[in-house]
Amino acid sequence: MFLTLASQPLAELLENVVPEGVAQSLSKLIPEGWQYFGAGLLHMALLFAVFSLCPFFLIWLERKVAGRIQDRLGPTRVGGRFGWLQSLADGIKLVQKEDLCPPSADSLLFYAAPYIVCMSSFAAFIFLPFSEGWVAVAADCGLFIMLAVMSLEVFGIILAGYSSASKWSLFGGMREAAQMVSYEIPMGICALVPIVAAGSLNLGEIGDMQTGGMLNWFVFHDPFTFIAFFVYFVVATASCKRAPFDLAEAESELVGGFHTEYSGMRWSFFFMGEYASMFAVCGIAAILFLGGWSTGLAGVDQTLSLMRSEGGVGSYVAGVIGLAMFAAKALFGVFVQIWLRWSVPRIRIDQVITVCLKYLVPISCFLFLGAIVWPLFLLLVTGYDSDTEWYEPVGGQTTWNEELGERFAKAIDGETSATDAENNEERSPDPGESATGEEPAETKTVTLNESTEVSR
């Protein structure tokens, strides 16, 4: 069970961190309503810190990687030998620059566009789990909400190009609109491929299903999820306007693209949203395909699960270790995106759209269809023999080594157990008659295969 935003008072939220006496004092001194409000503020402060630190670190990383690829050193002067504070120096420089708006531009839309881009990227972090239970809002359809919120970024790009009163900005905005609408289709379909294997849209549950060893990661689940990982990474790179798909801001053709007329901090807001979106899409890839916060070692994962179940300081230590594993996987994906930018030449806009509609969309549809047919193929070829160990069940989660009938029976029992418990508490009929006073209905069985029957 995962905590949603401000689902606990502040005292309960901090009881495992601060001494018990301090937590009890907080519960007595602060009204309960204000405790929920304080817990919500704490969640938002942590998310804003993550959203701010992502561009701060990734801008420095891109400059260092670009320098190494081009046989340079990159930042070396600000903040020590490796230039750790180069991003801070860039931010101070941008704050001091004049904030200009073209006289013929639509000032309201011109000023609002950068904030729309930033807010869409920031909102995506609300549904992204960073470790087991470390999520602001644990929605059962969290994946779709996250993808939908991130797609709002294109509205900011279009408004920036339309309101600037510049043909170069308008061309860049239209290019971004065409590119985003096209690449969101294969991106959503590829994200559904591991969902078929997991049977859930809750990102936290998907991450928990992959603990217990590297072979439990969905990227190794079947051939279709393995290919879907690489297709998803390509379309996610294009959705973040990264080279070789950065046609919306192609300086060789459109001066600066949709942000040609922007300067100062408003110009930097576009790149803050871009780098935050890069980390978000790579975080989704880490959860859907690479085990999320799993270490990939069965013994270590089992120890961490035990530490979380015992509570106390040990649960937070296990959470920090899971956070480190998740961040390492997501940052590696960002590193590959940076690597591609400085290694692969930019392609034309017609080639960008052709690659999506002519190749990536059919490939993603084929992978989705294959992921659906794969369990049936195993059923026909192997009969789901219980002696055949495809994947070991981890933490009570359903995996593919269970027979199809058992999976279906668990799903039915899980949906009806809560309702049956409530009905039994309110009313306890005699064993020989039903709750309506009639004779009990005849039990019907549905045979799903030769060895399993499900009573309904």
Give per-residue pLDDT as tens, 214-231: 999 999 999 999 999 999
pLDDT tens column, 267-282: 999 989 999 999 999 9
- Look at residue 436 and tell me whether its pLDDT is greater than 50: no
Judged against a pLDDT cut of 50, whether residue 200 lies above it is answered with: yes
**Cα 248 from Cα 157, distance rounded (Å):** 9
- Give 388-402 pLDDT, tens digit per residue: 444 444 444 444 444
Cα dihedral 255, 261, 267, 272, rounded to 10, equals -60
pLDDT at 213: 87
Query: Is-contact 284 380, C-beta < 8 A?
Result: no
Q: State mean pLDDT over 345-356.
A: 89
pLDDT of residue 191: 94
For residue 402, the model assigns a pLDDT of 46
Least confident of 7-21, 144-158, 165-179: 7-21
HEC profile of 57-113 = HHHHHHHHHHHHHCCCCCCCCCCCCCCCCHHHHHHHHHHHCCCCCCCCCCHHHHHHH
Residue of 451 and 430 predicted with greater confidence: 430
Nearest residue to 451 (alpha-carbon basis) of 387, 395, 392, 399: 387
Q: State the pLDDT at residue 279.
A: 95
Per-residue pLDDT reduced to its tens digit, 90-116: 999 999 998 889 999 999 999 999 999
If you average pLDDT over residues 374-387, what whole number do you get? 72
How many Cβ atoms from other residues are within 10 Å of residue 81's Cβ? 9
Instruction: Give residue 397's pLDDT.
Output: 43
Tokens of 210: 């992959």
Q: How many residues does the chain have?
A: 456
Name the nearest CA neighbour of 330 among 265, 375, 285: 285
Say if residue 10's pLDDT is above 80.
no
H helices of 199-312, in order, are 203-209, 223-239, 251-254, 264-288, 298-310
- 318 pLDDT more than 50: yes
What average pLDDT does this structure show over 181-208?
92
117-129 burial, b for 16+ CB within 10 Å, e for fewer?
A: bbbbbbbbbbbbb
Is a pLDDT exceeding 80 seen at residue 6? no
